[in-house]
Structure 1
Amino acid sequence: MRTTWLCLSILLGSLVAVVPVQADMSQGELRLKAMEEKLNALHEPDLKVNYGPHGVKSTKDVKASYGKKGFRLETGNELFQTNLQWRAQMRYSGVHSSDPRSPGDFTRLGTSNFELRRVRMKIGGHGYKPWLKYYFEVDLQPSTNTLGGNQSRNTRSRVIDWRIDVQPWDFLGIRVGQWKVNYNRERVDSSGRQQFVERSIVNRQFTIDRQVGVMAQGRLFKGTHAELRYYAGVFNGEGKGVNNPDDNHMYMARIQWNFLGRDLKWRQSDVKFHKKPAGSLAFATAHNTGVCTRWSSSGCGNLSRYVAPGTAGQQTEAYEIEQYLEEFAFKWQGLSLQQEYHWKNIRDTANIIMVNKDYMDGGYGQIGYFPHGLISAVPEGLEVAFRYAVVNEPDRSIVPQGVFNENMREEFTGALNYFIAGHNNKVTLDVSYLNLQDASTNRFYDDGRVRLQWDISF
């Protein structure tokens, strides 16, 4: 009997001793589990909406990566994104560093020049919604034509693009800011996405370039043979970074038919080697009243022998300009075609004799091909290209009563492109033959030019 009670006492004592231990172990497990949950929470993406009516909430969930648009920072919920890219364009030019336009340009002593033609910083992305996009670009442009360090504002760092796109639907979107107006393909194509070292002789004469304003844009009947892109905008008309001095505006409209149901991006050369053909046919028009007769990255300017903007006594409505465009582009299996025809009329409101007489036209056609598709021995990244361009313009140095005189300029350019990493890293060599039939001297001028360029983006 004593033995039985002794065994029961030992068993009860053991149970009493074990219960606290088991309780302690449960508390430890709970603490360990809580710690594991906290650690796991640090690694889980923050999928909460990080903005609200009272502001933007912070998040530590940011991903860093690198792609074709440069370095990228993006929140885990993909609502905010920023891309940063640097670009440099290093060039050598022989005989002429730019397009010769006058007899003096053709007869001037030739030059041999190295320059850092373009140095750019690009920042773009979206915020709050993937369809609310932003972009701005800074031009550092270090080269200058002056000696002794006397640089103008056009050779200093400057913001050349700043814009916001609101595009919730394919068929309708709005763009506001300052950018290269979507008028013609050659100008809107980035200088880093060109097929030649520089744009054709047509560009200076007919581009409407960068403007400040607002534009509606959209894509209709997507994926069909009736696919269309449209652009319609209102701008200051004074060029880059200039306020409007009166109530006149520039008006622009463009309609683009993607007749094969596939869209062509704003870039030249068929680097992606389109497996299916893609083409577009476009028409555009622009109208402006003001002091500008041409536009460029430097802003409002004047064509040869027209009064320069800012000249004393010049009226704000000095020139009324209307211009029209026809454009064609096509890409397929390494072949690329691009063509534009421009027509422009400048009405000099201060000179009755010249009213409706200053019309000009011009155009270019270019073709490029990657021979590797036919000859396997040719490097895959090598492209051969050719361009012809012509400009017919009034000669304002002659002012006979009611007689119209016209100069004609031509460009013949052949090019070799070697793409190391697409347009982001390429070397271009082009050779040009340029000529001028001048009405004022009744003489023919011609010359050659060679250019070598390395364009690289980081």
Structure 2
Amino acid sequence: MYEKGQITKEEWLRAKADEEKFEEEQKKSRDAEFPISIRYKDGFELQSRDGKFDMLIQNRLQFRYSFPQEGDSLHPADAATADDKDVSSFRVRRARLKVGGYGFVPWLKYFVEYDWVSNTLLDYRLDIAKYKWATLRVGQWKIDYNRERVDSSGNQQFVDRSIVNAPFTLDRQIGARLGGHLFEGTYAYLVYNIGVFSGTGINNARNDDKKMLWMGRIQWNFLGRDVPFSQSDVDYSPLPIGSIAFAGAHNRTDRIVFPGSRNNTVVDGQFEIEQGVQEFAFKWNGLSIQEEFHVKHVTNEANKQKTTSYGAYAQVGYFPHAAIDMIPKELEFAYRYAFVDPNQANRSDVLREHTVAANYFFAKHRNKITLDYSHLTQPGFTPEDRVRLQWDVSF
């Protein structure tokens, strides 16, 4: 009508403003009637209008190529160099659905994780986290024992974890844990975790005897700042962050590695396991350093035979852009050395790993490509080389 000269410009502007106001009021009315708001923030987030309920839905996929072997650190048989068949293969290593949030109050938190590839419910846990100095967690999760295992497979610096992971990890367990942060922001900043678990591994609700897995961990953030459980300094930390940690565990169970199955010849509580770990982590301006040293004593109560194992790894990564501007900011190089001595009484069975890696982060750990090369050796066997290429994407 304004273009035809039937109304003035001022009348047209008022009419347009009234129309926009009406549409906005209609939108607010519809939103008020619909009890849930939806947005995307590192996943699809649903939140009730009253703020009492929140749910974040995330997905993660890992596409991997390996040659001449997979060498998956989750399976001890694959980590050894003996008689591995050379194959060239593609696989979807992980396909995960993650659902987390809170209910009723923001400090009553929950998290569930499912892996489509293995058809396995990985995590289901509930946190009562009203106080940062004392948080109670119950359910099943990767218990807070050592950094390399707790670091998500999506936040790794290499295609997968080191050869140290398989023989020493406590993996996922069912139980309860009390943990918290003390003296945060000071040079005395401590993080503690004390837990008790069934001790028979993931999705195994039955304990084999009346004895439990006990675990304790103390971490000192010696620079007064938190050190997240995530590898690579993708944030180019402007201030240095570092931690030193010690943890120990005692278990009486029917298996000696996790995840693992019970041998048919084993009786309840046949193995007494005592183990400990020392850990260090540091990040600053594109540089990241991480190491662990493990010791594990296993006593077979059937014959009183005792086996002591040692293992360690150290890794360092660096974004060269921090020193040379012309190098892409998203590019990182890393190196890792690891060894496992499965039986201290036999000095000729030590497995060693040297791995170099290159990462290109399109969206930090949420979208990255990793290429790594490993050289694995063990006395009595032919040294083996391994190349892996992986695309890891979360949405």
Scaled by the length of structure 2, what TM-score is found?
A: 0.89
Task: Give 1:205's aligned amino acid.
Answer: P
Task: Give 2:55's aligned amino acid.
Answer: T
Q: C-alpha separation between the residues in 2 aligned to 1:341 and 1:108? A: 27
* 1:324–1:406 Cα change, 3 Å: farther
* Residue 365 of structure 1: aligned partner: 314
Secondary structure, in 3 states, of the residue corresponding to 1:204? helix
* Residue 436 of structure 1: aligned partner: 378
Q: Does 1:134 align with 2:119?
A: no
Secondary structure, in 3 states, of the residue corresponding to 1:294? coil
* Residue 248 of structure 2: aligned partner: 285
* Residue 98 of structure 2: aligned partner: 122
Q: C-alpha separation between the residues in 1 aligned to 2:77 and 2:258? A: 16
Q: Does 1:311 align with 2:264?
A: yes
Report if the CA contact (8 A) 1:101-1:436 is conserved.
Answer: no
Task: Give 2:97's aligned amino acid.
Answer: M
* Residue 12 of structure 2: aligned partner: none
Report if the CA contact (8 A) 2:341-2:347 is conserved.
Answer: no
* 1:246–1:75 Cα change, 3 Å: same
* Residue 213 of structure 2: aligned partner: 250
Secondary structure, in 3 states, of the residue corresponding to 2:140? strand
* Residue 259 of structure 1: aligned partner: 222
Task: Give 2:274's aligned amino acid.
Answer: E
Report if the CA contact (8 A) 1:102-1:436 is conserved.
Answer: no
Report if the CA contact (8 A) 1:106-1:447 is conserved.
Answer: no
Identity of aligned residues (%): 44
- 1:34-58 CA distances to partner (integer Å, 9 max, x unpaired)? xx9xx68954987xxxxxxxxxxxx
Question: Any residues of structure 2 matched to 1:269-348 within 5 Å, and which?
Answer: 269-296=232-259, 300-301=260-261, 309-312=262-265, 314-348=266-300
Q: Does 1:386 align with 2:335?
A: yes
Displacement after TM superposition at 1:373 (Å) = 1.1
* Residue 392 of structure 2: aligned partner: 455
- Paired residues in the alignment total 368
- 1:174-208 CA distances to partner (integer Å, 9 max, x unpaired)? 00000000000000000000000010000001000
Q: Does 1:350 align with 2:302?
A: yes
Secondary structure, in 3 states, of the residue corresponding to 1:186? helix
Q: C-alpha separation between the residues in 2 aligned to 1:414 and 1:104? A: 19
2:351 to 403, 409, 417: 409
* Residue 45 of structure 2: aligned partner: 72
Report if the CA contact (8 A) 2:71-2:79 is conserved.
Answer: no
Which structure 2 segments of 5+ residues have no match?
1-21
Task: Give 1:119's aligned amino acid.
Answer: A
Displacement after TM superposition at 1:102 (Å) = 8.8
1:374 to 316, 323, 326: 323
* Residue 60 of structure 1: aligned partner: 34
Scaled by the length of structure 1, what TM-score is found?
A: 0.77
- 1:130-179 CA distances to partner (integer Å, 9 max, x unpaired)? 111100001001xxxxxxxxxxxxx4x12110000101111101000000
Question: Any residues of structure 2 matched to 1:19-98 within 5 Å, and which?
Answer: 43=29, 60-68=34-42, 70-98=43-71
Report if the CA contact (8 A) 1:393-1:406 is conserved.
Answer: no
* Residue 422 of structure 1: aligned partner: 364
Which structure 1 segments of 5+ residues have no match?
1-35, 47-58, 142-154, 302-308, 396-402, 438-442
Which segment is superposed worse, 238-247 or 446-455? 238-247
Secondary structure, in 3 states, of the residue corresponding to 2:88? strand
Secondary structure, in 3 states, of the residue corresponding to 2:135? strand
Report if the CA contact (8 A) 1:88-1:456 is conserved.
Answer: yes
- 1:234-277 CA distances to partner (integer Å, 9 max, x unpaired)? 00000011111321110000000000010011110011111111
Displacement after TM superposition at 1:292 (Å) = 1.1
* 1:247–1:270 Cα change, 3 Å: same
Displacement after TM superposition at 1:407 (Å) = 1.2
Report if the CA contact (8 A) 1:163-1:179 is conserved.
Answer: yes
Q: C-alpha separation between the residues in 1 aligned to 2:390 and 2:54? A: 32
Q: C-alpha separation between the residues in 2 aligned to 1:235 and 1:325? A: 18
Q: C-alpha separation between the residues in 2 aligned to 1:377 and 1:210? A: 43
